[in-house]
Amino acid sequence: MKNILVTRSSMPSYEEYCEEIKELWESHWLTNMGVKHQKLQDELEKKLDVPHVILYTNGHLALENILAAMNLPKGSEVITTPFTFASTTHAIVRNGLVPVFCDINEEDYTIDVSKIESLITDKTSAIVPVHVYGNICNVKEIERIANRYELKVIYDAAHAFGVEYKGKNVASLGDASMFSFHATKVFNTIEGGAICFKDDSLVQILNDMKNFGIHGQESVVFVGGNAKMNEFQAAMGICNLRHIDDEVKKRKKAVEHYRLRLSDINGIILCDYQKDVKSNYAYFPVVFDEKKFGSSRNEVFVALNNAGIGARKYFYPLTSSFECFHNSYAAATPIAMYISNRVLTLPLYADLSIDDVDRICDVILSLGKK
């Protein structure tokens, strides 16, 4: 039987992509904000219903740059969660800021807003919450806290492309939101990312940061780096954007079948659909309670692997326990620890067949208590 990978990148047809990049052979304009870059940026501003989209060569550099653009005092504290991809915490630390880890909640694994205020000190400058798995944080409460203590809010929305909250795209939440367009994400530009925001005054500084601060052939006004999205990435994005609604619909079908098979099983915990949220079906996390289910997360992981099925311990370990941080930012986050030790994300992509979902669920259910 063929192997099932944990993810499979969405791609346009070969012909569609070739058609899109054809004019690059005529223009020889391969990067530096060419026509494809401009087109994708315009289309995303429409699609995400946000005044400004600045494209990046990847999501991580986008997050590093927007944190730098906020001018937070060096050494100040940024409240975030450890239940995320390395990028979130690394972007904070690489900016000379100190991550202060807040626990997550048990319902949707986003930041536990009831625990934020007790972590605020006179050194706190910002909150970096994560819409983990595409689950939307309690944005109302985060906004209230941020206003009260005058903190910046930068959302790591890497998982949340296309998600809507109360009928509005999440791209305009907070001071800014970072999206990743990495090959493994719901919408991809091979590698890529973007910062979305409303504040006009951020446009110039982000463009300076991603292109050496160059304003003209003889004018360099800012010590920026290089993080530009190239024309081939943008062309992939233009093609993938044409099909994104269909791709999400196909993901939805797979998720609904997973839910049908795995709901109401003793010891298997699924995230509920969130109220007022239109999902993008980015991931399918499953938490295994060994005592009730009969097998541990690690046992399920091994059994799936032996059956040729890739699943991921996503997110394990917590970023706070990465060896590169030498316990510098140790914090008590018991819920994050609990979930991290028990969660698996199951294979999910637009072309995952219902038969494959059944095959995956059969392996999992065979490990449960009889």
Identify which of residues 58 and 125 has a Cβ nearer to ligand PLP in the complex: 58
User: Among residues 138 and 233, whose Cβ is nearest to ligand PLP?
Assistant: 233
* CA 218/CA 225 separation, integer angstroms: 17
**x/- site string to ligand PLP, residues 269 to 298, per CB under 6 A?**
------------------------------
For residue 21, what are the contacts with CB-CB under 8 A and spacing of at least 6?
231, 232, 235
Select the residue interacting with ligand PLP from 34, 82, 174, 193 (CB under 6 A). Answer: 193
Q: Which stretch binds ligand PLP (CB under 6 A): 85-93, 105-113, 296-304, 328-336?
A: 85-93
Shortest distance, position 185 Cβ to ligand PLP, whole Å: 6
- Minimum CB separation of residue 202 from ligand PLP in Å reads 19
- Nearer residue to ligand PLP within complex by CB, 132 or 262: 132
Q: Does 130 bind ligand PLP (CB under 6 A)?
A: yes
Q: Of 193 and 237, which CB lies nearer to ligand PLP in the complex structure?
A: 193
Select from 41, 65, 81, 87 the one that contacts ligand PLP (CB under 6 A). Answer: 87
Of residues 58 and 105, the one with the C-beta less far from ligand PLP:
58
3-class DSSP string for the chain: CCCECCCCCCCCCHHHHHHHHHHHHHHCCCCCCCHHHHHHHHHHHHHCCCCEEEEECCHHHHHHHHHHHCCCCCCCEEEECCCCCHHHHHHHHHCCCEEEECCECCCCCCECHHHCHHHCCCCEEEEECECHHHCCCCHHHHHHHHHHHCCEEEEECCCCCCCEECCEEHHHCCCEEEEECCCCCCCCCCCCEEEEECCCCHHHHHHHHHECCEEECCEECCCCCECCCCHHHHHHHHHHHHHHHHHHHHHHHHHHHHHHHHCCCCCEEECCCCCCEECCCCCEEEEECHHHHCCCHHHHHHHHHHCCECCECCCCCCHHHCHHHCCCCCCCCHHHHHHHHHEEEECCCCCCCHHHHHHHHHHHHHCCCC
Q: Which of residues 142-171 bind ligand PLP (CB under 6 A)?
A: 156, 158-159
The Cα–Cα gap between 182 and 188 comes to 5
Residue 101 is a binding residue for ligand PLP (CB under 6 A) = no
- Choose between 47 and 90: whose C-beta lies nearer to ligand PLP: 90
Could you tell me which stretch among 56-64, 234-242, 249-257, 350-358 binds ligand PLP (CB under 6 A)?
56-64
Site for ligand PLP in 325-354 (CB under 6 A): none
Of residues 113 and 227, the one with the C-beta less far from ligand PLP:
227
Among 10, 81, 84, 124, binds ligand PLP (CB under 6 A): 84
Contact flag: residue 59 with ligand PLP (CB under 6 A): yes
Binding residue for ligand PLP (CB under 6 A) from 36, 37, 182, 297? Answer: 182
Q: Does 176 engage in binding with ligand PLP (CB under 6 A)?
A: no
The answer to whether 188 contacts ligand PLP (rule: CB under 6 A) is no
Footprint on this chain of ligand PLP (rule: CB under 6 A) = 58-60, 84-85, 87-88, 130, 156, 158-159, 180, 182, 193
